[in-house]
Amino acid sequence: MKLLILSRNAGLYSTQSLIKAAQQRGHDVQVYDHLMCNIIVEKSKPALMIGQDYFGHFDAVIPRIGASATSYGAAIVRQLEAMGIFVTVGADALLKARDKLHCLQILSAHGIDVPKTGISAGDTCAPMVYDQITKDRAVVKLLASTQGLGVMLAQSKSQAVSIVEGFHRVGHDVIIQEFIADAKGSDIRAFVVDGEIVGSMIRQAQPGEFRSNIHRGASSVKVKLSTAERDLALKATSILGLHIAGVDILRSKRGPLILEVNASPGLEGIEGTTGVNISDIIIRFIEKRIAK
């Protein structure tokens, strides 16, 4: 197969791991930066250019679109779909998963349990929203947070409201979310490929920290999921229309809750922690799809 990986940085672990897996299975693989791709829209002739050149033949594209270029990256993926090329993540699914609020709206509408979450456009209603969400502490989260940056634990209503006001002042949207204390600073990452859980780990925040992001110093170990957790991860992935996903789950007294679903999940943490060659599983999945 001729494969293309869209990635801003060919040196990243995830990109390198996919390149290695593709080459080991005898495929030709190239990496392009999606910000170097140009879209040409014309009646019945969707086209893409890479710099000066028209896009050559590829059997499949693996988009690795990070948060820094979501909307342009999604436009490139949409163009590839219009050109009839198999992409491992479609533009719509990518956008739904990337927007934390949209993702929770869709999942909760399908009966999936999530931390209770609210948002108000202005400051005036923030105290009312807080009252609907919790009587205890709350997590206040930038809609655009990544790697735990912009995820804050407010110890009281007044603290939560002042954080919301501060972010509104600088033009950022924030959600107020029920704090799941039962998770004790941990979350689960379930990695799904083609309707199967191929690896799962539990991440534990450093002492004194509630965010279990590896970038915030959390540690991770392999974990066996309960049946409810497996079912939840697979259901969420399917609802969002994803073939490949990293599903983040909080363990709570009322059962597993979906925190978010990542449509461009990193491979370093999960491969390193579980010892599973997930890139190889992804490449085999693409082979299967192309053969169809």
Q: Break the chain down into helix, strand, coil percent, rounded to 5.
A: 40, 30, 35
Query: From the list 32, 58, 179, 285, which residue makes contact with ligand ATP (rule: CB under 6 A)?
Result: 179
Q: How far is the CB of 82 from ligand ATP (least distance, A)?
A: 27
Kindly tell me which of 4 and 261 has the beta carbon lying closer to ligand ATP. Answer: 261
Site string for ligand ATP, 123-162 (x = CB under 6 A): ----------------x-x---xxxx--x-----------
Q: How far is the CB of 109 from ligand ATP (least distance, A)?
A: 19
Q: How far is the CB of 96 from ligand ATP (least distance, A)?
A: 13
Q: How far is the CB of 180 from ligand ATP (least distance, A)?
A: 4
Cα end-to-end distance, the chain, whole Å: 13
Kindly tell me which of 4 and 257 has the beta carbon lying closer to ligand ATP. Answer: 257
Q: How far is the CB of 281 from ligand ATP (least distance, A)?
A: 22
Site string for ligand ATP, 190-229 (x = CB under 6 A): --------------------xxxx----------------
| b/e code 68-78 from CB counts within 10 Å (16+ = b) | ebbeebbbbbb
In the sheet where 53-54 sits, what is the strand order?
37-40, 47-50, 53-54
Site string for ligand ATP, 88-127 (x = CB under 6 A): ---------------------------x------------
CB-based contacts of 233, cutoff 8 Å, min separation 6: 190, 192, 197, 225, 245, 247, 249
Q: Is 248 in the site for ligand ATP (CB under 6 A)?
A: yes
Distance CA(269)–CA(285), nearest Å, equals 21
Going by the DSSP 8-state scheme, the letter that residue 206 receives in this structure is P
CB-based contacts of 228, cutoff 8 Å, min separation 6: 255, 256
Distance CA(107)–CA(224), nearest Å, equals 23
Three-state DSSP state, 249: strand
Kindly tell me which of 145 and 273 has the beta carbon lying closer to ligand ATP. Answer: 145
**In the numeric block, which tokens belong to residue 106?**
């869709």
Run of H or E including 220: strand 219-222
Q: Is 180 in the site for ligand ATP (CB under 6 A)?
A: yes
Q: How far is the CB of 188 from ligand ATP (least distance, A)?
A: 10
CB 138 within 8 A of CB 176: yes
Q: Is 260 in the site for ligand ATP (CB under 6 A)?
A: yes
Q: How far is the CB of 148 from ligand ATP (least distance, A)?
A: 4
237 CA to centre of own chain: 11
Kindly tell me which of 259 and 283 has the beta carbon lying closer to ligand ATP. Answer: 259
User: Contact residues for ligand ATP (CB under 6 A)?
Assistant: 115, 139, 141, 145-148, 151, 177-180, 183, 187, 210-213, 248, 250, 259-260
